[in-house]
Chains A and B, each alone.
Chain A
Amino acid sequence: MTPDTLAAGTFGLSRRWKKPPMIKRPLVRWALWLAAGIYLALAFGTMEVNWGRVADGIPRGARFISGFFPPDFVSSWGEILSGLNESIWMTVTSTVIGIAVSIPIGLGAAKNLAPKPVYLLCRGILALTRSFHEVIIAIFMVKLFGFGPFAGFLTLAIATIGFYGKLLAEDIEDMDPVQAEAVKATGSGWFQWLNYAIQPQVMPRMIGLGLYRLDINFRESAVVGIVGAGGIGATLNTAFDRYEFDTAAAVLLIIIGIVMIVEYTSGFVRQKVQ
């Protein structure tokens, strides 16, 4: 047979080709589509939209926003400043402590470093610290230790452990095992091995994530303040309670400004350490 007749197939017909479907069995495939469709139809059907209220809400929103202007930085400047101070303090301390605590936990939660029991324990701790949103932890901490920035600090530190520990563990699991093997083969001790083989591989990403967490913690410090854990959030909440929308607008602008500054700096630093 010549190549031509081979290509055309035995009967002179072209062979058909179609991309194989992700789910092989057609019955399962169609059943899944159907189930998803029914659920969505029911879910949207249950949602009640009161168009009258939506219509009322829009002009109210417009009034609300116009209340924001012009933002008033002056009349509550002292409160804003002390709230801001508290927030920054809370952000920095919780990030530093959170990362410090998360390093041993993250090492223990990396499958390729830790023995099984340690791995399970550390993964358990991480899962626990990650299972609740900051606001819920903050409410709990405020109940335990009273109002104020200490509760906020604890909340953010716990959240940082879950975040940083998990990503550290995952980064270690993704490292190049051969580099680690090579350092081990020199007869290095365990800590030397960490320092020479693991740390260089994960460091750039961890610096980037540390800055990212700093950024997140500042934003979260505003949120946890609303449930009583101090900081700029408390100032914001007070302003809303007193219907001082112009002061609230000032606080919001300051938060946006600081988040943007941290964002740009962390982007810059991350580029540098790569």
Chain B
Amino acid sequence: MLRLDSLSKQYKTGDLALTNISLEIPNGQVMALIGPSGAGKSTLIRCINRLVEPTSGAVYLNDLELSSLNQSNLRKARRRMGMIFQEYALVERLTVMENVLSGRLWYVGFWRSYFRKFPQSDIDEAFRLLERVGLDHMCDKRADELSGGQRQRVGICRALIQDPELLLVDEPTASLDPKTSRQIMRLICELCAERKLSAIINIHDVMLAQMFAQRIVGLQLGEIVYDGPPNGMTPAVLTQIYGEEDWEKTIENVDDDDVLDDEEILTNDA
């Protein structure tokens, strides 16, 4: 379980990115975090694994308080939280396999990682994950040779090979086309279900959030303005989060959305 306790972040420039965020995410829950650009979604998930240091408040991963950890305990805690990024954030000049294995860096010593001599069990797991997302044949390709959807799947493998308890997902579909976006979201949600992971998914696309998440939290100017089930997203709620706009159409479209079978994830390399 992840618990945020009145978390606040004020940047050096004086901008208040988060004010008093308190949230509880039970094990196995996939939560979508929606809100306009600049609402503090990215800051929120980065405050959890302290890529951004929160100004005040506390974060608990099960019973471990994260915001007061020293460097080495912080590394240990980061290992328990897999992160997936908007622009994939693969190290472009490393191979697919190296990128996946970098998820194991906490587990192995420096020289072992330097010479890329990972334990066979790690390599087995890497192949298993790559197979799961249909990319095992590309293991020696450089990351920058892959398409967007493929890169994001490698990013997912890197996060999962950490053997995390929680996924922090930052705009996973923002640079993908609509079809690939759905495939990636479905993949993330399936993997969360398979492994009983909880996840926080920052997402712009309200429709996708409603399709895949079990719970939606709406953030506006660093404050939570909605916290509830996907079907509670009424035009009034969306107006509260994003501002005045004609929301009727956005909501209607959810039910009759395209349904892709799982085979497509494995066969389509788009």
Q: Which residues of B contact A185 (CB under 8 A)?
A: 49, 51, 78, 81, 83, 168
Q: Cα distance A188–B75 when bound, in Å? A: 7
Chain B CB within 8 A of A49 CB: no
A207 to chain B, nearest CB (A): 12
| Residue interface bits B75-88, CB-to-A below 8 A is 1, else 0 | 11111010101110
Interface pair B93/A200, CB less than 8 Å apart: yes
Interface pair A187/B85, CB less than 8 Å apart: no
Q: Cα distance A186–B51 when bound, in Å? A: 11
Contact A187:B113 (CB < 8 A) given known A178-B85, A182-B85: no
Interface pair A178/B87, CB less than 8 Å apart: yes
Chain A CB within 8 A of B91 CB: yes
Chain B CB within 8 A of A192 CB: yes
Main secondary structure of the interface of B (DSSP, over half): mixed
Contact A189:B110 (CB < 8 A) given known A178-B85, A183-B105, A196-B102: yes
Q: Which residues of B contact A178 (CB under 8 A)?
A: 85-87, 89
Chain A CB within 8 A of B183 CB: no
Q: Which residues of A contact B113 (CB under 8 A)?
A: 188, 192, 195-196
Chain B CB within 8 A of A127 CB: no
Q: Cα distance A202–B93 when bound, in Å? A: 10
Contact A187:B94 (CB < 8 A) given known A192-B113, A195-B114, A196-B102: no
Interface pair A187/B90, CB less than 8 Å apart: no
Interface residues of A, Cβ cutoff 8 Å to B: 176, 178-179, 181-189, 191-193, 195-197, 200-201, 203-204
Interface pair B51/A181, CB less than 8 Å apart: yes
Q: Which residues of A contact B86 (CB under 8 A)?
A: 178
Contact A187:B162 (CB < 8 A) given known A182-B91, A195-B113: yes
Q: Which residues of A contact B93 (CB under 8 A)?
A: 200-201, 203-204
Could you tell me which residues of chain B, from 98 to 143, have a CB within 8 Å of some CB in chain A? 98, 102-106, 110, 113-114
Residue pairs across A and B with Cβ atoms less than 8 A apart, 12 shown, are: A179-B92, A181-B51, A182-B158, A183-B105, A184-B78, A185-B78, A186-B78, A187-B75, A188-B113, A189-B75, A192-B114, A200-B92
Give the number of A-B contacts (CB < 8 Å).
Answer: 82
Q: Cα distance A54–B83 when bound, in Å? A: 72
Q: Cα distance A179–B113 when bound, in Å? A: 17
Q: Which residues of A contact B49 (CB under 8 A)?
A: 185
Could you tell me which residues of chain B, from 199 to 248, have a CB within 8 Å of some CB in chain A? none
Q: Cα distance A271–B112 when bound, in Å? A: 30
Interface pair B105/A179, CB less than 8 Å apart: no
Cross-chain contact of A192 among B77, B92, B110 (Cβ < 8 A): B110
Cross-chain contact of B79 among A186, A192, A193, A196 (Cβ < 8 A): A186
Interface pair B91/A187, CB less than 8 Å apart: no
Q: Which 3 A-B pairs have the closest CB atoms?
A: A187-B106, A187-B79, A188-B105
Q: Which residues of B contact A201 (CB under 8 A)?
A: 91-93
Q: Which residues of A contact B77 (CB under 8 A)?
A: 187
Q: Which residues of B contact A196 (CB under 8 A)?
A: 91, 94, 98, 102, 105, 113
Besides A181-B51, A203-B93, 16 more A-B contacts (Cβ < 8 Å) are: A178-B87, A179-B92, A182-B85, A182-B158, A183-B102, A186-B102, A186-B103, A186-B105, A186-B162, A187-B106, A193-B105, A196-B91, A196-B113, A200-B94, A201-B92, A204-B93
Interface pair A189/B105, CB less than 8 Å apart: yes
Interface pair B91/A200, CB less than 8 Å apart: yes
Interface pair B90/A182, CB less than 8 Å apart: yes
Q: Cα distance A176–B83 when bound, in Å? A: 17
Q: Cα distance A203–B92 when bound, in Å? A: 12
Q: Cα distance A203–B105 when bound, in Å? A: 20
Q: Cα distance A195–B114 when bound, in Å? A: 7
Q: Which residues of B contact A186 (CB under 8 A)?
A: 78-79, 83, 102-106, 158, 162
Cross-chain contact of A179 among B78, B91, B110 (Cβ < 8 A): B91
Query: In chain B, what residue has the closest Cβ to A195?
Result: B114
B154 to chain A, nearest CB (A): 11
Interface pair B102/A188, CB less than 8 Å apart: yes
Q: Which residues of A contact B83 (CB under 8 A)?
A: 182, 185-186
Q: Which residues of B contact A193 (CB under 8 A)?
A: 105
